[in-house]
Amino acid sequence: MKLNRTAALVALALAGAAAQAQTAPPLRISFTADIRSTEPGVNRDSNSDALVMHIVEGLVAYGEDAEVRPMLARSVAISPDGKTYTFTLRDGVTFSNGAPLTSADVKWTWDHYMAPKSGWRCLSEFDGRGPAKVTGVDTPDARTVVFHLEAPSGLFLASLARIDCGGTGIVHKDSVKPDGSWDRPIGTGPFVLDEWKRGEYVSLKRNPKYANLDGKRDGYTGSKRPLVDAVRFVIVPDDATAKAALQRGDIDIIEDVSNNDVAPLQSLKGVTVAHAPVMSVTGLLLQTRDPLLADPRMRQALAHAIDHPQLTAAVSEGLAKPNNSLVPLVSPYYGAVEKKGWDYDPALAQRLLKEAGYKGQELVIITTKRYPQSYNSAIIIQAMLQAVGVNARLEVMEWATQLDRYNAGNYQMMTFPYSARLDAALSYEMVTGDKQKQPRKVWDNPKAIALVEQASRSADHAERQQLFDQLHTLMLADVPLVPLYNGLDIGAYRNDIKGYTPWAVKKPRAWEVERAAK
């Protein structure tokens, strides 16, 4: 039998990994697709981000709970007016080429990213088009970097830490060629780029000069010891091929497992499946400008008609927990107020429908099979609404068509999967705004818009918590949407692999991971 092209490439990559070192094979992690680039935040996608974050580090980084903490910076001081951020660099940090990290490297990297034609994804986040405008960067000494902002921004540090920004990773100037074009990342991270064989694998090797932080593993900060000599990200586009390779021991970790594959993988001998909640959210969107749904009693009725624990258990194979807040379960801002939601109360739902004057008019729920959990949620919601007397009909369409309808605000209801936002203000910002200017916005309550703007400016945790509490309470009353649950990061790995854990950002981490001695 002839192998197809995908299987042949996978076999070749796996064979190469085995041949690389008979006694100590690399840690092998499957990727569903090849990376696009090795330059932080440039020509990137999710896999590119995951790889680059093994090589470079930023001044700050997301912790396990998605809170921003120091990384290359030992400390961060914010001026009373919120417009000056002073970073003091850690001592003893070197790049993988042996050069010591200094404030000049931070300034050089910043200028490289902020060049008008750099292609850096996050240029607009710092030039005034986004949440912050950096007006200057000073380096008063080798260990101090000072960023000046035009106005206070509670999202400045969160934006610096963003994974799609490459963590604003600090790189050595030798990362670029003499003509200024990108060569390869020379960073301070626990691993170094070794080989990129396009379409087959990307290999990293341990950084022997890595200056580790003390303490325990903590997201993209904390302890990040490289405990294996090499890591190989193997391109395995097909789920069945990846599962077979994991079972044979040809790969060690599948970093992105679907809910439907959990049970089959759990049944495999020698394989462990682990999961953690992430920052994404699936919700039922309600068009508040629709004649039927303009009455908040109508929207309240729909929210109370849904059995949220039952729905979440059904669509997540019992792994996820319901969450009626836009603040994710793992967020440091998820507190007692955010735990409050809409109780499942069919009698109350029927009473509210009657008070709203509902007379059996049809309500359409838009969904797509592109995202199975979102589609399954729509099916269950339809049945629950019908059970209280709502004439709910399902309309299934291609994802591109649904996205067009979402962007135009052309729907009554739809189940919709929002990708992760790593700050609670961004979670609210993605749904809140003026529908006249941005029809895709779901919630156009002026008070909510003002609260989101305040939360985006503030850098004080206690003040932000109060603002998010107010937003959640207001959302429960307005019901512009019904948040249902957060997504999951599910990983499967061989039992001889120790230290691998899924986490809130849904990216693989090869540091603090090792192969148990046989």
What pLDDT, in 10s, does the model give residues 188-203?
Answer: 999 999 999 999 999 9
Give the pLDDT score at 10: 56
pLDDT band at 518 (very low <50, low <70, confident <90, very high): low
What pLDDT, in 10s, does the model give residues 132-181?
Answer: 999 999 999 999 999 999 999 999 999 999 999 999 999 999 999 999 99
- Phi, psi angle pair for 391, to nearest 5°: -80, 80
Least confident residue range of 175-184, 379-388, 401-410, 418-427: 418-427
Is residue 280 within a helix (H) or strand (E), and if so which, with residue range?
strand 271-286
Quick one: 105 exposed, middle or buried, by C-beta within 10 A (0-12, 13-18, 19+)? buried
Mean pLDDT (the chain, rounded): 93
Give the pLDDT score at 11: 54
What pLDDT, in 10s, does the model give residues 325-379?
Answer: 999 999 989 999 999 999 999 999 999 999 999 999 999 999 999 888 999 999 9
Query: Could you write out the DSSP letters of every residue in 159-187?
Result: HHH-GGGGGG----GGGB-TTS-B-----
HEC sequence for 55-68: CCCCCEEECCCCCE
What is the DSSP pairing of strand 413-418 with strand 362-367? Answer: parallel
- Region 450-457: mean pLDDT is 94
CB 279 within 8 A of CB 486: yes
What pLDDT, in 10s, does the model give residues 292-336?
Answer: 999 999 999 999 999 999 999 999 989 999 999 999 999 989 999
Tell which residue, 409, 403, 396, has the closest CA to residue 368. Answer: 396
Give the pLDDT score at 129: 87
In whole angstroms, give the CA distance from residue 456 to residue 157.
11
Q: What is the pTM of this model?
A: 0.84
Give the pLDDT score at 13: 55
- Region 33-59: mean pLDDT is 95
**SS3 state at 513:** coil
Tell which residue, 130, 165, 220, has the closest CA to residue 425. Answer: 130
**SS3 state at 486:** strand
pLDDT band at 9 (very low <50, low <70, confident <90, very high): low
pLDDT band at 459 (very low <50, low <70, confident <90, very high): confident
CB 367 within 8 A of CB 380: no
In whole angstroms, give the CA distance from residue 496 to residue 170.
34
Between 343 and 23, the more confident residue is 343
User: Residues of the chain with pLDDT > 70: what percent?
Assistant: 95
Residue 68 has pLDDT above 50, yes or no: yes
Give the pLDDT score at 96: 98
Q: Which residues contact 321 (CB under 8 A, 6 or more apart)?
A: 277, 312, 329, 485, 486
Question: Residue holding tokens 């797509």?
Answer: 368
> Using the 8-state DSSP alphabet, how is residue 359 labeled?
-
In whole angstroms, give the CA distance from residue 54 to residue 227.
13
> Using the 8-state DSSP alphabet, how is residue 473 labeled?
H
**C-alpha triplet 274, 505, 492: angle, nearest 5°:** 25
Residues comprising the chain, all counted: 518
